Amino acid sequence: MIQVLTAKIVYYQMALHFSSACLCSLSQMRGQKIRAVAPESSVTVNSEEDKVKLGGSDLKVTKLGIGAWSWGDTSYWNNFEWDDKKLKAAKTAFDASIDCGITFIDTAEVYGSRFSFGAINSETLLGRFIKERKEKDPEVEVAVATKFAALPWRLGRLSVLAALKDSLARMELSSVDLYQLHWPGIWGNEGYIDGLGDAVEQGLVKAVGVSNYSEKRLRDAYEQLKRRGIPLASNQVNYSLIYRFPEQNGVKAACDELGVTLIAYSPIAQGALTGKYTPENPPTGPRGQIYTPEFLTELQPLINRIKEIGESYNKTSTQVVLNWLIAQENVVPIPGAKNAEQAKEFGGALGWRLTQQEIDQLRSLASELKPVTGFPVEKL
């Protein structure tokens, strides 16, 4: 119970960090270090066959994307500080992703809030990286996804368009490929969905999605957009081998039924599934409150089996757990990359597939663990 409450507090702090800073200003608004990969473990995505359509939209993205949550952040990642060294590492992560053919990058307006000491907005960094890359390679195409923060004082469809235009200004882009509602609002959700539809009709986005939506909220959003002839492309939720709540709460089944792509954030459980952390060496910062020495002790049998399977394919543990998610079908994982080594390693999750026996065995071992806690709004 203590672990559950602690985790909820951590995740609420993530969501409210930006909100509290914005309120203050008004009175005055999913990567971890991973082992480097041997060259033979990486894969280069280089054809349309290596892409999938997001839901019923016309937008095609790579089967695996990159999460930019850590870029510029000082509230959850980077040991609460940001410097030139971390900036250069994030830039190499972006370039390595593009070099591997992984061109789907997910960010959000609240990542790297400009009100955090020393932080740089993740959208600003992504826009800068894209601009610098295009100067060298004008033909490069990056599928950009970002998110609207359903802050309590944001009301109605116009707030969605205003926030989107602010995001576009930070990234210096005229449109984005995917715009998502980051979490359901306390109120005003129908207006937010209308705002997504308006964004499509005004040509500001190619596709729209939601994030952290329950089955009921997902179905409601799907039907509301459908009445305007607009497909709901995706629902981005916490999903990994040790966090399978989307399978249990009806979200995964609803996505499959409705033709909505499930985008999986924290697909390697913020590093817990990579084998890097042990009971003697738990993660630092907020993650250490979730992945405790006690939990990591219980996790070891699963970690050992993941490693064994990886060795049989000449793959890393990270690549195995990402492949496990891809094998669930209609799932696009977006692990967070802090540096080039991580980005290159993620590419090695593509181009092969675990056997059904291995998939089932890993799920069985994971089922013996106490569930970790995700973003609380999923249960609303």
Are residues 103 and 145 in contact, defined by beta-carbon separation less than 8 angstroms? no
Q: Is the dihedral of CA 91, 97, 100, 101 positive or negative?
A: negative
Cβ atoms of 334 and 67 within 8 Å: the answer is yes
151 phi/psi in degrees, rounded to 5? -75, 145
Classify residue 80 by its DSSP letter. G
8-state DSSP, 240: B
Joined tokens for residue 213: 């939506």
Q: Phi then psi for 255, rounded to 5 degrees?
A: -60, -45
Ranges assigned E (strand) in the chain: 51-53, 60-62, 66-67, 104-106, 143-148, 176-181, 205-211, 232-238, 261-265, 331-333
Q: Quick check: is 111 catalytic?
A: yes
Q: For residues 253-282, b (16+ Cβ closer than 10 Å) or e, as one string?
A: ebbeebbbbbbbbbbbbbbbbbbbbeeeeb
Alpha-carbon distance 183 to 150, whole Å? 6
Question: Which of 233, 249, 214 shows the shortest CA–CA distance to 54?
Answer: 233
CA distance 160 to 191: 9
* Beta-bridge mates of residue 145: 106, 178
Q: What are phi and psi of 116, to 5 degrees?
A: -85, 140
CB 109 within 8 A of CB 149: yes
Please pick, among 11, 76, 111, 192, the residue that the annotation labels catalytic.
Answer: 111
Catalogue the active-site residues. 111
